[in-house]
Amino acid sequence: MADKILAGEKKVKRHGFSVRVVHWTVAVSTFLLIFSGIGQLPVYRRYMLDRLPGLAWTSDFSVTLAIHYWAAVLLILAVTYHLVYHGLRRDRGILPRRGDVRQSVRIIMAMLGQGEEPENDKYLAEQRLAYAFIGFSLLLLIVTGLVKVLKNLPGVDLGADIIFWVTALHNAAMVLLMLGIAAHLAAFLFKENRYLLPGMFTGKVDLDYVRRRHQLWYRRLAQKGR
């Protein structure tokens, strides 16, 4: 996934194939998990979603639970892949750094027309923070979810207190994750951020955009290209 300037195309290679596959696997499995997870609250029948054409299955717990389990397998697969892959490669670009909160405020203010945006690296400070927040929520959901899977097995008794707290944490982490995803998507309300979107589909982003906004990253790439 070597990032590089593709001068001929006026693009910059931002994400390799496996990063994109992992991103979309996490996105799809997380969507399925949230939908089927909300379905574990008996709400689709109550609010009559199951009466809409083709959605009768939404109030069948045997279906939504199976979706939840399968999607969890997919998410765990993608998350372990992500952690091991980038861990082995020592990729640290997306991890939060000191001063990221202050810098995020500056970036957002700049997008609102207030002040100058700081020089950015490959990832914006707010992207690094969002990654940590969503990553933490996902890990909390996975760990508590695994305990819940264990608890469902016959002959496993974890004790009422542990089960109560694990359930509460799982539910709370889902709320955190939904907030994180909402913020992640809300970022694209800003036009300036939309230049990043093609990166998650084709792996490439516009060269001019990188030169203009991701100066730190651009300089490093340019130096490497020499």
Among 7, 101, 146, 197, binds other proteins (CB under 8 A): 146
The per-residue DSSP string of 87-125 comes to HHHT--TTS--TTHHHHHHHHHHHHTTSSPPPP--SS-H
Give me 31's structure tokens.
């969507």
Closest by CA to 3, choosing from 222, 212, 226, is 222
128, 96 in Cβ contact below 8 A? yes
**Residues 6+ away with beta carbon under 8 Å from 53:** none
Q: According to the binding rule CB under 8 A, does residue 76 interact with other proteins? A: yes
Three-class SS state of 206? strand
Among 54, 114, 116, 160, binds other proteins (CB under 8 A): 160
83, 139 in Cβ contact below 8 A? no
Give me 23's structure tokens.
């991103």
148, 156 in Cβ contact below 8 A? no
| Shortest distance (Å) from residue 153 CB to other proteins | 6
Q: Stretches 96-104, 153-161, 182-190, 203-211: which one binds other proteins (CB under 8 A)?
A: 153-161
Among 6, 9, 10, 18, binds other proteins (CB under 8 A): 18
Q: Stretches 76-84, 99-107, 175-183, 198-206: which one binds other proteins (CB under 8 A)?
A: 76-84
Among 89, 98, 191, 226, binds other proteins (CB under 8 A): 89
Among 5, 12, 26, 78, binds other proteins (CB under 8 A): 78
Quick note: the x/- pattern for other proteins over 36-75, rule CB under 8 A, is: ----xxxx--xxx------------xx--xx-xxx-xxx-
Query: Distance (Å, rounded) from C-alpha 226 to C-alpha 222?
Result: 6
| Shortest distance (Å) from residue 152 CB to other proteins | 5
Q: Stretches 112-120, 144-152, 189-197, 204-212: which one binds other proteins (CB under 8 A)?
A: 144-152
Q: Provide the edge-to-edge strand list for the sheet that holds 204-206.
A: 4-6, 11-13, 204-206
Q: According to the binding rule CB under 8 A, does residue 136 interact with other proteins? A: no
Contact positions vs other proteins (CB under 8 A): 1-2, 16, 18, 40-43, 46-48, 61-62, 65-66, 68-70, 72-74, 76-86, 88-89, 146, 149-155, 157, 160, 163-164, 166-168, 171
